Every structure is written in C-alpha cells, then in structure tokens.
Amino acid sequence: MSYDLIVIGGGPAGYVGAIRAAQLGKHVALIERERPGGTCLHWGCIPTKSLLRSAELYQQIQHADAFGIQVGNIKVDFSKVIQRSRGIAERLTKGIEFLFKKHKIEHITGTGTVTAPGHVSFQPVYGAVQTLSAKHILLATGAKPRLLPLLPVDGACVLTSREAMVLPEAPRSIVIIGAGAIGVEFAYFFNAFGSQVTLVEILPQILPQEDEEIAVELAKQFSRSGIRILTETRLEQAHVSDVGVKLGLSGKTSETIETEKVLLAIGLEANLAEAIGSDLKLDLDGGYVKTDARYQTSIPGLFAAGDVSGPPWLAHVASYEAIQAVEGMFANRTPHKATIFPSCIYCQPQVASVGLNEKKARELKKNYRVGKFPFFSLGKALAAGDNSGFVKILFGEPGGEILGAHIIGAEATELISEVNLGMTLSATRDHIISTLHAHPTLAEALAEAAAASVGEAIHL
C-alpha cells in the first residue's frame, strides 16, 4: 500500500495539506483516529464561535429596548445552544468528507505511527496492524490542552475546553485558569449566560500576547460585565469534592476560592504520544517538532505543519504551513514560513491583531508612530449601538510602513484583514489614508487611525 503522501492527522493542517497534494495529482492517504476536521472543527474554532454567537445574541436581545424594540420574558434553552454548535461542526465535517471523495483521498480511520523513514504503521479501529509507505509523510497531529498535575481533569468539576463546550447547563460559578484566547472567550460565554466567572492569569495582563492597551481595555469591559479578573496570581492548592473545587491562590491576590467548575486554559502541548515510533529520533524544540525551511523534520521525508510544530496555534497558520510544505514537496516551489498573520479573539468586544505590538516594537528598537481612533467617534458604530473600543496602528518612521495593528471592538476580527493585506503588500500609512473607505462603515476607523498618527484625523 504505497502513496505519494501519507498525512497523519485530519485537522486544518492535515486535511488541507491532503487536498492540496491531491490537486497536484498525487495519490494521498490521510490517517485520522476521529472524523476529519481536527480540534478546530470539532472542539475549537467552529463550535466555540457558535456558542459565542448565541451568547452575543442573548445579550443583544436583553438590550433591545434601547433600539425601540420591546421583548417579553427571555428564556434560554442551554441544551439547544450546545446542540446548535454540534450541528454546525457535523455539517462542516460532512463537507470535508465530501472533498476527500471528490479528490480521491483515501481516508483511513485509526492511529498512524511513523516507524521508519517512509513507513507508517497503521492501527485500524478494528483489525490487525498494517504498514503503509510513501516517499513523503506529513505529520499534522496538532496539539492538546496542557494540564496541571495539581488539578487532574475529571470532566465533571475540572474541565478542558473540550468538556466545557458540551456542559448540559451553565455552571453557577466557574474559575478559568489562564487568560489567553481560550480563557477569555469562555469567560465571556459563561458570564453572558449568568455564571459567576473568575479569570486567573499568572502574568501581569490578560491576553499576554496582545498589546497592553488592548488588554487593559478588555479587562475594563469584562469587569463591567461582572467578570472578576485576577492577574499575577498562581494556583497553589486544589481540592476537588463531589460539589465543586476549592482553590488556593497566591501572588498579587492570595485567597481561597470555592467554585462549581474549573476550566484549564493554560496553553497547548504537541500531540506526539503515538505519532513517532520509539526507534526514531525526532528533534524537538520546547516539546514541539523542529522543522527546517521546507517544513522537513530531522527524519528524512517526514514533514510537519500546524500546532504540532509550536505556536502560534492558529488554524489559518496551520493550513498555510501545510500548503507551503506540500507545494515544496510536489510543485517545485520554495516554501515560505508564516510571518504576517492575524490573531483573532471572538469574545465581546472582539480583539484582533497583526504584526508588532508596542512592547515588541520597543524591544526591537523600532522608530514608530501610533495612530489611534475610538469607535465612539464613528457614525456606524453609534448607529449599531456598539461603540466601545478602538483601532490602534503602528507605523515605522520615516517611511510610514505598517508595523502592526490592534483592534478591540465590534467586528475587529473582520476589520483586521485590511491591515493584514496591507502588510503583505508592503503598504504604508499613505496607502491606507488615500484608500477611499465607504461611509458609514466601521472600516473608516482604520483610515482615521492612520491619519491620526500624523495629526490629520478628521473626526477626532
């Protein structure tokens, strides 16, 4: 059973890489122990966005009176909120399975292990172990939630994101350990549906990878919504009982908290347990697979893409890397690494960024200007009743090149694409200013922020 490419893992790196190879006329097999789509489709990006949309709509209805709309008693069927998210994941999964058939990709359900260069041992769900061979193997096994030995996951009181998104009802109280993207999204979701939420972060700010001003603004918005935020605080003790969890915290805040649920959102680790045979030496970097400029690992013919090779743990970066790796294998093209990519967080208000934040710009000794524009000065934002937050863009001097952008507010995750495209095309501040932005739109804030960096904003 020989192939041009064997892909291990069916997430955003694996299935996209398999499809691209098939488009290039290659005979492809993909091994995935579950249905295709990976964590992103089944337990991450897609179902969480469905959950967050339900939370957002619920909050909007609660404030309908401000728009002149009277509503009666609002009821939430939490089970339907969960069912809708699972239904969307199922629909998209069927779409990927259709694409596999369309492109004649052999989809194998089971566990794949690289046993030697060019060879994969395959353990099907039923039956004996088989051996597959290919000149090229793409490792795309992704990552899994990082756990705390102090607080073992039991699926009842102590959760990862996987268990959190299928709870039968919103908990009365929940402590979320870790205030990165996953932590803040779930904090917003559970708070919207009435849970008492405490967000614990060991570093000085929530969203540690984001610009400081963005993190401060989100913390203000969360606090107004009733979310308790504890930064520079670590978990020291934990006791799980039949009714909840007692946590001992220390640091900037030292206290004992009792809560019904705890959600661990402290990052990810590479999913490698069964992917590499014990006889193989695979070079790692901080626990993640180390690759060269062509995405090849230390094992000849074995390539890796996506979360298994480390941060930024973004589905769109994983897909990009897989395409680059496959085109380097089969299309005689020089692969590229992802250097300009957006980060998007879908709580309310939304957060999105690309490029350098101010802290990083200072570390790199960049000479830069900042342009900021608040949404409360924008007609579209006021008309939509969602005018919190701002746009912040960093421009290099003296040329005005775009170094980075940071947005917090309505549709931030959509707005960031304009700046991302601009950076990819080496656009400057003048290009943004001279581009006609439709009125009234939220995108006008980008042009106003660019103009503000040189004191030329019209509505500020």
Residue pLDDT, tens place only, 24-83: 999 999 999 999 999 999 999 999 999 999 999 999 999 999 999 999 899 999 999 999
Assess if residue 360 is contained within a domain. Answer: yes
Spatial distance between the Cα atoms of 436 and 432, rounded to a whole number of angstroms: 8
Q: What is the pLDDT of residues 326-376, one digit of tens each?
A: 999 999 999 999 999 999 999 999 999 999 999 999 999 999 999 999 999
Which residue in 63, 336, 439, 459 is the catalytic one? Answer: 439
Looking at the fold, whether 353 and 409 belong to one and the same domain comes out as yes
Domain termination site, one of 249, 266, 283: 266
Residue 127's pLDDT is 81
Chain CA centroid to CA 261, Å? 23
CATH classification at residue 375: 3.30.390.30
Is 151 domain-assigned? no
pLDDT band for 126, please (50, 70, 90 cuts).
confident
How many domains are there within the chain? 3
Q: What is the mean pLDDT of residues 292-298?
A: 97
Both 87 and 139 in one domain: the answer is: yes
The number of residues making up the chain comes to 460
Q: What is the pLDDT of residues 257-278, one digit of tens each?
A: 999 999 999 999 999 989 999 8
Residue 355 maps to a domain: yes
pLDDT at 125: 75
CATH of the domain at 262: 3.50.50.60
Q: What pLDDT was estimated at residue 302?
A: 98
Q: Is 311 part of any domain? A: yes
Q: Tell me if 299 is assigned to some domain.
A: yes
107 is a catalytic site residue = no
Q: Domain range for residue 228?
A: 158-266
Indicate if 66 and 186 belong to the same structural domain: no
Torsion-angle region of residue 209: left (phi > 0), alpha (psi -120 to 50) or beta?
Answer: alpha
Q: Which residues contact 413 (CB under 8 A, 6 or more apart)?
A: 342, 344, 345, 346, 350, 352
Quick one: pLDDT band at residue 163, thresholds 50, 70, 90?
Answer: very high
Task: Determine the pLDDT at residue 16.
Answer: 98
pLDDT for position 15 = 98
Regarding whether 277 and 262 lie in a shared domain, the answer is no
Between CA 388 and CA 376 the distance in angstroms is 6
pLDDT at 92: 97
Instruction: Supply the mean pLDDT for the chain.
Output: 96
pTM: 0.95
**Res 259: pLDDT:** 98
Same domain? 241 vs 354: no
Whether residue 237 is found in the same domain as residue 291: no
Last residue of a domain, one of 280, 301, 330: 330
Classify the C-alpha dihedral 205-206-207-211 as positive or negative.
negative
Which pLDDT value is given to residue 243? 87
Q: HSE-up of 327 (CA within 13 Å, CB side)?
A: 13
Q: What is the dihedral of CA 46, 319, 93, 32, to 10 degrees?
A: -120
Separation between Cα atoms, residue 26 and residue 8, nearest integer Å:
16
pLDDT at 209 over 90: yes
Query: What are the distances in angstroms from CA 244 to CA 204, 258, 263?
Result: 28, 7, 12
| 297-321 mean pLDDT | 97
Q: What is the pLDDT of residue 123?
A: 82
